[in-house]
Amino acid sequence: MQSKQASVFSLAVLVAALGYFVDIYDLLLFSIIRVSSLTDLGLNKDQIASDGLFIINIQMAGLLIGGILWGILGDKKGRLKVLYASIILYSLGNIANGFVQTVNQYAAVRFLTGIGLAGELGAGITLVSELLPKEKRGIGTSLVAGIGLTGAVVAFFFKENFHWRTCYFIGGGLGFALLFLRVGVLESGMFNSIQHSNVSKGNFFMLITNAKRLKKYLCSILIGLPTWYVIGILVTFSKEFGEKMGVQGKVDPGKAVMFSYAAISIGDIAVGLLSQALKSRKKALFIFYGLTTIGIVWFFNLAGQPVDSLYAACALLGFGTGFWAIFVTMAAEQFGTNIRATAATTVPNMVRGALIPISILFTSLQNTAGYVQSGWITGITVMVIGIVAALLTEETFHKDLNYVEE
């Protein structure tokens, strides 16, 4: 049974990629239709910025809670059961989003949808990592992320052709269609081998009560911080940054998200191939950190430049933060089978949830430093934290995953 799933083009990889596609479509849809949907609800320009940040933070809080919930259940009940349950929740959430009439309703539904969305990536990456041989893990997980991240591009094109409420209904429909594809996917053999054993499974506290595991866990989270600084601050609020910096032309944040995620999907495949060529996750990660840094510097030097230059900078930022697949794979590879789903599901959602303190830093700095300066000070802080965490993280390229944590 296990050998049938050994190809990077197996059904498990394909379905995980399509699952992440729907996940990203739903996750980024608010960023893409933020302005049009909140305008339709009657908000003014300032409210669109402030309430938009509030809603995205509430969504991230849902992801943070959901990450812990689904991670624990993934190790206790199985990777596939988590995927089924999370898909149902976020699909229902998106359909409900098509009916909201107030900011509070919008935020409440995005919170519940965020809980659902939290289960898709970690469980999918864990399943693929355990089904593929170690020499193919990086390529397999990069394909999952590379294909999946194009969901943001599709969301943008739907936004251009459909009413924002219809876009949410489409997201819900895609989720339920995905359930039917899951039927033929096998559960991880590694999970099955420990399912009825007495070893502790899905114990979140195992990650934080042992000093060595806590260090690995914290570093696994911190190396991903630049991704959501770029997407949650720079790209999502590219319209506001463009106006403050005097960018020539009207900035469409949906288009900025589309360009960045098209590049992220390419970057995720590229980082997997680069990691394979270098036989190292960390070396590939540092190269992409360098590209992200160049993108940040470019972004904050766009004063007076045409709007297309801003979109190009967002594309470079997207490609640079295309290390998402490697970062989540590294998190899965750090821990034993009995807490692997817990780690791999909570880590990316902790990073998404970290947008809350990142945005608090960003907004608090504005009282003294101004909007643009607050953005780059926040960026420097986030990049330094990520680099230090990466330096403290162990290399996992050749690691055998068939073991448990005691």
Q: Is the pLDDT of residue 173 over 60?
A: yes
More confident residue, 260 or 179: 260
Note the pLDDT of residue 83: 77
Percent with pLDDT over 70 in the chain: 92
Note the pLDDT of residue 193: 61
Distance separating alpha carbons of residues 267 and 58, to the nearest angstrom: 28
Q: Is the pLDDT of residue 332 over 50?
A: yes
Across all residues in the chain, what is the average pLDDT? 87
Q: Which of 36-40, 98-102, 395-399 has the lowest mean pLDDT?
A: 395-399
Kindly indicate the confidence band of residue 1, based on its pLDDT and cuts at 50, 70 and 90: very low
Arithmetic mean of pLDDT, 273-294: 94
- Contact between 22 and 151 (Cβ < 8 Å): yes
Note the pLDDT of residue 186: 54
225-228 contacts, C-beta under 8 A, 24 or more apart: 225/351, 225/354, 225/358, 225/382, 225/385, 225/386, 226/289, 226/292, 226/321, 226/382, 226/383, 226/386, 227/321, 227/323, 227/324, 227/327, 227/351, 228/351, 228/352, 228/354, 228/355, 228/358
Q: Is the pLDDT of residue 2 over 50?
A: no
Distance separating alpha carbons of residues 387 and 379, to the nearest angstrom: 12
- Contact between 107 and 55 (Cβ < 8 Å): yes
CA torsion angle for 55, 58, 64, 67 (degrees, to 10)? -70
Continuous segment of H or E residues that includes residue 359: helix 355-369
Give, as one character, the DSSP assignment of residue 149. Answer: T
- Where do the structural domains in the chain lie, given as residue ranges? 8-181+203-391
Note the pLDDT of residue 308: 96
Angle, CA 312 vertex, CA 233 and CA 382 arms, to 5°:
30
CATH of 8-181+203-391, one of 3.20.20.70, 3.90.79.10, 3.40.710.10, 1.20.1250.20: 1.20.1250.20
> Which of 114, 138, 118, 116 is closest to 128 using CA atoms?
138
Note the pLDDT of residue 3: 40
Which residues, 6 or more positions from 298, have their beta carbon under 8 angstroms from its beta carbon?
Answer: 313, 316
Distance separating alpha carbons of residues 133 and 121, to the nearest angstrom: 19
- Two structure tokens written together for 218: 């914290």
> Which of 30, 33, 176 is closest to 109 using CA atoms?
30
Arithmetic mean of pLDDT, 257-276: 89
Arithmetic mean of pLDDT, 215-227: 95
Which residues, 6 or more positions from 61, have their beta carbon under 8 angstroms from its beta carbon?
Answer: 111, 114, 353, 356
Kindly indicate the confidence band of residue 17, based on its pLDDT and cuts at 50, 70 and 90: confident
Q: Which of 196-200, 203-207, 323-327 has the lowest mean pLDDT?
A: 196-200
Side chain identity at 282, as an amino acid letter? K
